Amino acid sequence: MTITARHALVTGGSRGIGRGITLKLAEHGVGVAINYLKDEASAKATLEQVRARGSDGFIVQADVRQPADIERLFTRVRDEFGSLDIFVSNARGEIASFYEPPMSIPVEKFDNAMNSQAKAFLVGVREAAKIMVDGGRIIAITYAAGGTHGSWQSWVAMGAAKSSLEVLVRYFAVALAPRSITVNAVSPGWIDDSVLNTLPEPVVRMIREHHENGWTPMRRLGTPADVGNAVLLFCSSEASWITGQVIAADGGMTLMDPALPLAIQQPELQPA
């Protein structure tokens, strides 16, 4: 891959998937603005890891649910970097701020999810476009399954928010195409050191075993570095003709058919 970008902003870039993306960019010499909400210590630790990889950057606190904070965030990026090559919209609120089933979720929790995803992306892309070089890259981190299934009831707000985010990816891809700015999304499968680790321990154990037993054909959970690699693909010069797409980085999880027993879907049981 050819990465020519010099400057990136990763929202929620201090922990989990965001940190995996930040560090992958740093390994390719990209300076990274690391946005965080509350955990300044993690942001500083991630910046040290960026510097250990031979790159640099800075940390910046902002609540992406607040348009004024997003505007301040991009003003800081402009002041520090002068311009922007890559914008990764990754930040997501803590699970307690939106996690409740559709028949009981308060409107405030629903708004929290929508504001952290669709609204944050709407405002963020428009601010990014003001300082982004032609040929830049915009990547959103989504979870496509949340918008196509209804069984994980307490994910309703984030499922709706991520679906809205994916719609915006397509609209912005068209709007920014004349400047050769691509807009895409990565939809990770289940990832270690992510939202998974904030769920109750029995739930984490069941999910881990479920995927290691074959519901993810590669029989492992993903890592933040796996998602970082997918983001790098979109950021490469070779991906300049790809825009408006949602790509699954999930070890094959979305290839499995929930209507068939897992035993039937095991490769070793398939007829020759």
Q: Per the domain annotation, does 209 fall within a domain?
A: no
| DSSP type of residue 193 | S
Q: Domain tally for the chain? A: 1
pLDDT at 200: 79
For the domain that residue 28 is a member of, what is the CATH number?
3.40.50.720
Assess whether pLDDT exceeds 90 at residue 40.
yes
Q: What is the mean pLDDT of residues 234-245?
A: 98
pLDDT at 268: 67
- Residue 242: domain span: 7-194+223-255
pLDDT at 263: 83
pLDDT-based confidence at residue 11 (cuts at 50, 70, 90)? very high
Q: What is the mean pLDDT of residues 86-102?
A: 94
Assess whether pLDDT exceeds 90 at residue 204.
no
Q: Report the phi/psi class of residue 251: left, alpha or beta, with left for phi > 0 and alpha for psi in -120 to 50.
A: left
Q: What is the mean pLDDT of residues 7-35?
A: 97
pLDDT at 272: 54
Assess whether pLDDT exceeds 60 at residue 79.
yes
Q: Per the domain annotation, does 203 fall within a domain?
A: no
Walk across the sheet containing 84-89 and list its strands: 57-61, 31-36, 7-10, 84-89, 132-141, 182-188, 246-249
Q: What is the mean pLDDT of residues 50-54?
A: 98
Assess whether pLDDT exceeds 70 at residue 269.
no
Q: Per the domain annotation, does 218 fall within a domain?
A: no
Q: Which of 85-89, 118-122, 255-259 has the lowest mean pLDDT?
A: 255-259
d(CA 238, CA 245): 15
Q: What is the mean pLDDT of residues 151-162?
A: 94
204 vs 74, higher pLDDT:
74
What is the reported pTM?
0.94
Out of 124-133, 189-198, 255-264, give the one with best mean pLDDT: 124-133
Q: Per the domain annotation, does 270 fall within a domain?
A: no
pLDDT at 270: 58
pLDDT at 271: 54
Q: Per the domain annotation, does 239 fall within a domain?
A: yes
pLDDT-based confidence at residue 99 (cuts at 50, 70, 90)? very high
Tell me the residue length of the chain.
272
The three-class DSSP label of residue 95 is helix
pLDDT at 164: 98
Q: What is the mean pLDDT of residues 242-257?
A: 94
Q: Per the domain annotation, does 154 fall within a domain?
A: yes
Q: What is the mean pLDDT of residues 98-103?
A: 95
Whether residue 116 contacts residue 161, with contact meaning beta carbons closer than 8 Å, is answered with: yes
What average pLDDT does the structure give for the chain?
A: 94
The three-class DSSP label of residue 199 is coil
